[in-house]
Amino acid sequence: MKAISDAIIRSPSDAADIPDLDVTPIMNMFIILIPFLVSMAVFTHLSILEFTLPSNAGIGLDDSAGKPELKLTIVVADDHLAITHGENMLDSIPVTNHNYDLITFRNRLSYFRQNVSIRNEAVVAVRDNIKFKHVVHIMDECRSVGFVNIGLSNATSNAESGV
Amino acid sequence: MKSKRISLIHSSGDENGGTFKPQLTSLIDVMTILLVFLIKSFSVEGNLVTQSDNLALPVSGSKVKPDPVLSLEISRNSLIAEGTILAHNSSFVNSDSMVIPELLNWFSDRNKNEVEKSDNKIMIQSDREIEFNIVKRVMYTCSRAGYSDFSILVIEEG
């Protein structure tokens, strides 16, 4: 019976003849380090999206001959996304399942960007009832295909007219 | 016999001089995981711009860090500038005029008090569920007050 009691009392480290590790300094370090890191931690990273108000939406003013050149305009409506160039409607991407098809939009926008003269500027024209998060997503997509300067404008109810 | 065995288990340190040695392995495991997580989110700079409490900002892939400039906040109910509620959204959302008079007055008062203007830059903190109609009116009023360089505060994705 005494042998059984000894076996219960003996810890695994004793059984293997391994000395107990003194973890007190490590715990002290943790107790100092963790409050310091908590005070310096940033859990939400904020950034900004820059844009301008286009003075004349859809028209660039950088032509040396004085004749304004047209910029690509993306019309954001509640049932579709339209890509226009001046008065020409280039493409229209319908909303499916209450979501904008951003992948198709990105591909189409990238394709049309190759065919216009102003490739670093675009205008996002938004209808009044569109939620702001969708505007940000569309601006993100414009930036991802290479548009550097993005103008934000108001869209009329007639998408074919551009802005 | 059983009670004696239990007492031996709980008082194992008594024979070694009466010290109690708690099992710290699991605690150190937790601390190590916590330490790695906190080191990952450690930032020397911190945030130069703070998000308002009552806003759910939109999420974006933009990596441009914000600078401290004049900021306007558009919550779901009201338009706020430097902690002051200027107008309720319902008061101007259906107005015929694009200008928000309260905001324009606030800008003119601010200019009278000769507060330094930060290079025509203005940052808009808008709730993600706000309709563009409201944001548009705020932007238009800002442009009437002489601000032309806009930025939107967003939460960085990922």
Into how many domains does chain A fold?
2
* Residue A31 pLDDT greater than 60, yes or no: yes
A134: in domain:
yes
The residue-averaged pLDDT of A16-22 equals 70
Is the torsion defined by CA of B137, B139, B140, B146 positive or negative? Answer: positive
Instruction: Assign residue A148 the CATH number of its domain.
Output: 3.30.420
Contact criterion met (CB below 8 Å) for B103 and B78: no
> A152 to chain B: which residues are within 8 Å by CB?
139, 150
ipTM > 0.85? no
- What tens-digit pLDDT sequence spans chain B (158 residues)? 444 444 444 444 445 556 777 777 888 899 999 999 988 888 776 667 777 778 889 998 888 888 888 889 999 989 998 888 999 988 888 888 889 999 999 988 887 776 565 578 899 999 999 999 999 999 999 988 888 888 999 998 87
- Which residues are within 8 A (CB) of A115 and not within 5 positions of it... i.e. 6 or more apart? none
Residue A5 binned pLDDT confidence (cut-offs 50, 70, 90): low
pLDDT at B127: 92
A30 with A73, same domain: the answer is: no
Measured between alpha carbons, how far is B89 from B86 in angstroms, rounded to an integer? 10
Measured between alpha carbons, how far is B137 from B156 in angstroms, rounded to an integer? 26
Identity of the residue in A27, A34, A48 whose CB atom sits nearest the CB atom of B34:
A34
φ and ψ of B102, to 5 deg: -60, -40
Residue A95: how many CA atoms within 13 Å on its side-chain side?
Answer: 13
In angstroms, the separation between the Cα of residue B112 and the nearest Cα of chain A is 25
Residue B143: how many CA atoms within 13 Å on its side-chain side?
Answer: 19
String of b and e for B10-46 (b: at least 16 CB within 10 Å)? eebeeeeeeeeeeeeeeeeeebeeeeeebeeeeeeee
Assess A15–B contact: CB distance below 8 Å, yes or no.
no
> B130 to chain A: which residues are within 8 Å by CB?
131-132
Question: Cβ A132–B8 below 8 Å, yes or no?
Answer: no
A76: in domain:
yes
Q: pTM here?
A: 0.74
A108: in domain:
yes
What is the overall mean pLDDT for chain A? 79
Residue A161 binned pLDDT confidence (cut-offs 50, 70, 90): very low
If you write DSSP's letter for every residue of B47-105 in order, what string do you get? -SS---TT--PPEE---PPPP--EEEEE-SSEEEETTEEEEEHHHHTT-SSSS-HHHHH
pLDDT at A88: 84
Residue A15: how many CA atoms within 13 Å on its side-chain side?
Answer: 7
Which residue segments constitute the domains of chain B, with CATH numbers given? 2-40 (no CATH), 59-156 (3.30.420)
A48: in domain:
no
Question: Cβ A132–B151 below 8 Å, yes or no?
Answer: no
A66 with A11, same domain: the answer is: no
A34 with A67, same domain: the answer is: no
Residues A46-55: pLDDT tens digits?
Answer: 888 888 876 5
The tokens for B132 are: 């563009």
A33 with A89, same domain: the answer is: no
A53: in domain:
no
Residue A42 binned pLDDT confidence (cut-offs 50, 70, 90): confident
Measured between alpha carbons, how far is B148 from B68 in angstroms, rounded to an integer? 16
Residues A101-125: pLDDT tens digits?
Answer: 889 999 999 998 888 888 888 899 9
Identity of the residue in A41, A44, A132 whose CB atom sits nearest the CB atom of B132:
A132
Find the residue in B nearest to A29 (Cα): B31
A152: in domain:
yes
A74 with A135, same domain: the answer is: yes
pLDDT at B1: 46
Assess A144–B contact: CB distance below 8 Å, yes or no.
yes
> B156 to chain A: which residues are within 8 Å by CB?
45-47
Measured between alpha carbons, how far is B66 from B57 in angstroms, rounded to an integer? 14
A151 with A97, same domain: the answer is: yes
pLDDT at A133: 92
Contact criterion met (CB below 8 Å) for B152 and A152: no
A54: in domain:
no
A36 with A65, same domain: the answer is: no
Within 10 angstroms of residue B109's Cβ, the number of other Cβ atoms is 10
- Could you list the residue range(s) of the whole structural domain that residue A92 is in? 59-161
A69 with A29, same domain: the answer is: no
A145 with A95, same domain: the answer is: yes
Within 10 angstroms of residue A97's Cβ, the number of other Cβ atoms is 5
A119: in domain:
yes
Find the residue in A nearest to B23 (Cα): A23
Assess A33–B contact: CB distance below 8 Å, yes or no.
yes
